[in-house]
């Protein structure tokens, strides 16, 4: 199977892939946005599994089962909070994508779905985030063994357009 990056609009909690990524916070104990949607859909066992980690630093990633989700695994990564762009935000966003993909590779995942990390509550400008995400995923796929297909799942048309544009550059 050829490696690919796809951009789609949808609800990431419905994706039947090996792993979906959660745009979490450093407590890993749930929140709003996509994090809230994933916790609601996966059920309370996810909360109990996340408790064991005692949090996660920004840019790192942790893995749990998917529980009630169609996805086999959930990879949780706290992306950076945008504070003007001079505080390491781009590098931390690269780290979130990279460390999530490394975990997916380690767990032999072939298909991985990402939400638009940090561009909701965390206010990272979406055009810039999309360029960073696509570049990081491309570089990772060039050397991956297990990971074959990465799907960027946008929740709204403007986010989808930003990732489609990044895919063409």
Q: Where does this chain bind ligand AR6 (CB under 6 A)?
A: 11-13, 23-25, 31-35, 37, 79, 115-122, 153, 155-156, 159
Nearest distance from residue 66's CB to ligand AR6, in Å? 14
DSSP one-letter code for 168 = T
3-state secondary structure of 19: strand
Q: In the beta sheet, which residues pair with residue 64?
A: 74
User: Among this protein's residues, is 35 annotated catalytic?
Assistant: yes
SS3 33: helix
Angle, helices 157-167/126-141, rounded to nearest 10 degrees: 50
**121 vs 161, beta carbon nearer ligand AR6:** 121
Of 11, 18, 35, 156, which one is the catalytic site residue?
Answer: 35
- What backbone torsions phi and psi does residue 115 show, to the nearest 5 degrees? -85, 175
**Residue 136, number of CB atoms within 10 A of its CB:** 18
Between 32 and 57, CB nearer to ligand AR6: 32
State the nearest-atom distance from the C-beta of 166 to ligand AR6, in Å.
14
Q: Between 36 and 108, whose beta carbon lies closer to ligand AR6?
A: 36
Kindly state the smallest distance separating residue 139's Cβ from ligand AR6, in Å. 21
Nearest 5°: the CA angle 37, 54, 126 is 45
Nearest distance in Å: CB 89, ligand AR6: 12
In the complex with ligand AR6, the residue whose CB is nearer, 26 or 108, is 26
Residues catalogued as catalytic: 35
């Amino acid at each position: 199977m050829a490696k690919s990056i796809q951009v789609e609009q949808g609800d990431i909690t419905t994706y039947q892939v090996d792993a979906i990524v959660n745009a979490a916070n450093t407590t890993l104990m749930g929140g709003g946005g996509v994090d809230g949607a994933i916790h609601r859909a996966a059920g309370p066992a996810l909360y109990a599994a996340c408790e064991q980690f005692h949090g996660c630093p920004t840019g790192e990633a942790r893995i749990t089962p998917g529980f009630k989700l169609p996805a086999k695994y959930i990879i949780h990564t706290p992306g950076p909070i945008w504070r003007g762009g001079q505080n390491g935000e781009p590098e931390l966003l690269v780290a979130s994508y990279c460390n999530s993909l490394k975990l997916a590779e380690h767990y032999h995942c072939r298909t991985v779905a990402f939400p638009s990390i940090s561009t909701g509550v965390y206010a990272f400008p979406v055009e810039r985030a999309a360029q960073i995400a696509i570049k990081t995923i491309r570089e990772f796929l060039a050397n991956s063994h297990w990971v074959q297909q990465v799907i960027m799942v946008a929740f709204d048309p403007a986010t989808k357009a930003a990732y489609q544009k990044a895919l063409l550059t």
